Homo-oligomer: A and B are copies of this chain.
């Protein structure tokens, strides 16, 4: 029972390939025609597949572009900061340390995706919606026993906002690493940083 499905590699791979094909064609079409002008039917057709199949692989049209690989790690990084710092500083420094350890992404695809998002209002809004859960996680990580809940939520929101702006700016500018842009964005919140 435990090992039964080990050999069954191909069907899984097939689904993954379809998924990737969909994502690639989607990105291409979005970039050439614009996100809203592109129809799910078009993407599906380009990938040689039905509309239905598209929605089997991605719950929404947005989901083809939106992958948040970092979100889970962030809150953990913040918890590691000492509790005696004010919430905003804990958030900023926690984020900084987290991203310092993360590897730079495969610049090609990620940058195309982020740039598309940065230029498409609906997608930016979708990112915000996704960030809501991360924001809550950060706020929880910040909220000490007798801590000001409002301050925690503001700090969380503000740090994520800065991070997002840095990310978008990086995607547009083509010179400079993600790390640099994030660092510059966070520095605005903590100017007195050695």
A184 neighbours in B (Cβ, 8 Å): 150-151
In angstroms, Cα B152 to Cα A188, docked, is 9
A window 171-194: CB within 8 A of B: 181, 184-185, 188-189, 191
Cβ distance A178 to chain B, nearest Cβ, rounded Å: 13
Q: A188-B155, A189-B158 are in contact. Are A150 and B166 (CB under 8 A)?
A: yes
- Whether A46 is near chain B, meaning CB under 8 Å from some CB there, is no
Closest chain-B Cβ to A134's Cβ sits at a distance in Å of: 13
A125 surroundings in chain B (CB, below 8 A): 125-126, 128-129
Q: Judge whether A34 is part of the interface by a CB distance below 8 angstroms.
A: no
Query: Total interface residues on A, using CB and 8 Å?
Result: 31
- Top 9 closest pairs, chain A to chain B, by CB: A161-B161, A125-B125, A125-B129, A128-B128, A154-B188, A157-B161, A158-B158, A157-B165, A154-B165
Cα separation A113 to B70 with both chains bound (whole Å): 33
A143 contacts chain B at the CB level, 8 A cutoff: no
Q: Does A124 contact B (CB under 8 A)?
A: yes
Cβ contact within 8 Å between A154 and B150? no
Residue from B132, B164, B165 in contact with A150 in the complex, judged by beta carbons closer than 8 Å = B165
Chain B residues in 8 Å Cβ range of A121 = 129, 132
Distance in angstroms from A167 CB to nearest chain B CB is 11
**Is the pair B162, A157 in contact by a Cβ cutoff of 8 Å?**
yes
**Min CB distance, A62 to chain B, in Å?**
10
Task: Please report the C-alpha to C-alpha distance between residue A162 and residue B128 in the assembled complex, in whole angstroms.
Answer: 14
Q: Is A153 an interface residue (CB 8 A)?
A: yes
In the complex, residue of chain B having the shortest beta-carbon distance to the beta carbon of A173: B150
Write out the residue numbers on chain B whose beta carbons fall within 8 Å of the beta carbon of A164: 157
State A189–B191 Cα separation when bound (angstroms): 11
Contact bitstring A25-58, B, C-beta under 8 A = 1, else 0: 0000000000000000000000000000000000
Chain B CB within 8 A of A169 CB:
yes
